[in-house]
Amino acid sequence: MTDALTTVEPPAAATPRGGGGGTLRYVLSKVGAALISLGLIVVLGFVLFRVLLPGDPVRTLTRGAPVTPEGAAALEREYGFDLPLWGQFTRYLGNLAHGDLDRSLVFKVPVAQKIGERLGPTLLLVGVGTLIAVVLGLWLGTRTAWRRGSRFDRTATGIALALWSAPTFWLGLVLLTATGGLFPSGGITYPDTPPDFLSQALDTAHHMVLPTITLVAVVYAQYQLVMRSSLVEEMHAEHLLTARAKGLRDDEVRRRHAVPNALLPTVTLVFLHLGLVVSGAITVETVFSWPGLGLLTFEALRFPDYPLLQGTFLVLAAAVVVMNLVADLLLRVLDPRVRAS
């Protein structure tokens, strides 16, 4: 009977796809969406800092020193502030197309150059901090989920919640006070450190300890809690019963079937969050005078240095968009279900 009827069974719900066409379309649509976001950020950058923000650029330039009306007019011409708003916008777009982010009013150097100088320390701090936070958060999340309700779970989850809700600057100041001069309170190196690589690296590491701890403390909790809830949910999955029935040990069930599946949403979150961590570094960098993009933004705000603010805004916002894109593309590589849809 089976033979007579095999033709009747409907074809598979979805034949294996995910080859050429589907993938390309998916990537293009995600990249397209990211480009649109970037375009909106460029416009928003102009509107925020040239149209909405109060203040007089000439005053910033001259740092409040008296200036003749002719002098002020000359300065305005030099920076293009005398143009009508539309003219300023097209000039801004034109410059941007050449990678020119204008000149800083305060530092008197191109904004792009200034950002370039400060990008390294931020990447170092955020990179190391995120790496530690991810490892710590996922490990704690896995353990607390597997032993949920235990004292370990209650303690670790409680600590995570407390640190997550603590204000960053407060945490930084507490750490500074509590360690009592054991670690440098600011900067990236001492000026008298020998210029060879090893000494510089050790000194930087020494300076990094407190900012990194602060950043990790603020960030890891979210990874831990998401990993925990994702794994707790996964532990109810019926296919784990299949795995146990197959004769797998409990730790094999966890390692092969529960944790990898629970990691999928968490990995996406890590990348979604990475862009935000860069912006979150502003507070940490300010507290510890870490010479990165965050501190630069803070300095630019004080004057206010519009072109510089605009530049850091563009870079930080673009980081969020790019990381979202990476998260979308990565999930597709990792999760076959997303690949098919």
Decide: is 249 part of the binding site for another protein (CB under 8 A). yes
Number of residues that bind another protein (CB under 8 A): 36
DSSP 205-238: HHHHHHHHHHHHHHHHHHHHHHHHHHHHHHTT-T
Piece in contact with another protein (CB under 8 A), picked from 7-15, 46-54, 149-157, 200-208: 7-15
With binding defined as CB under 8 A, does residue 238 bind another protein? yes
| Cα distance between residue 322 and residue 180, in whole Å | 39
With binding defined as CB under 8 A, does residue 63 bind another protein?
Answer: no
> Is the Cβ–Cβ distance between 189 and 204 less than 8 Å?
yes
Under DSSP, the state recorded for 8 is: G
Distance CA 297, CA 279 (A): 10
- Residue 330 makes contact with another protein by CB under 8 A: no
**Please, are residues 164 and 218 in contact by the beta-carbon 8 Å criterion?**
yes
241: contact with another protein by CB under 8 A: yes
Q: Which one of 3-11, 38-46, 121-129, 175-183 is the stretch in contact with another protein (CB under 8 A)?
A: 3-11
User: Can residue 245 be called a binding residue for another protein (CB under 8 A)?
Assistant: yes
- Does 251 participate in binding another protein (rule CB under 8 A)? no
List the interface residues with another protein, window 15-34 (CB under 8 A): 15-16
- Closest by CA to 117, choosing from 280, 311, 319, 281, is 311
- Other CB atoms within 10 A of residue 328 CB: 20
Reduced DSSP (H G I as helix, E B as strand, rest coil) percent helix, strand, coil of the chain, to 5: 75, 0, 25
CB nearer to another protein: give 261 or 310: 261
> Closest distance between another protein and the C-beta of residue 11, in Å?
7
Give the footprint of another protein on residues 172-191 (CB under 8 A): none
Binding mask 254-293 for another protein (x = CB under 8 A): --xx--xx--x-----------------------------
Q: Are 277 and 223 within 8 A, CB to CB?
A: no
Among 133, 139, 242, 331, binds another protein (CB under 8 A): 242
155 binds another protein (CB under 8 A): no
> How far apart, in whole angstroms, are the C-alpha atoms of residue 333 and residue 268?
11
Of the pair 224, 261, the CB lying nearest another protein is at: 261
- DSSP for 112-132, please give it: HHHHHHHHHHHHHHHHHHHHH
Task: Report residue 30 as tokens.
Answer: 């995600």
Interacting residues toward another protein by CB under 8 A: 1-2, 4-6, 8-16, 237-239, 241-249, 252, 256-257, 260-261, 264, 335-337, 340
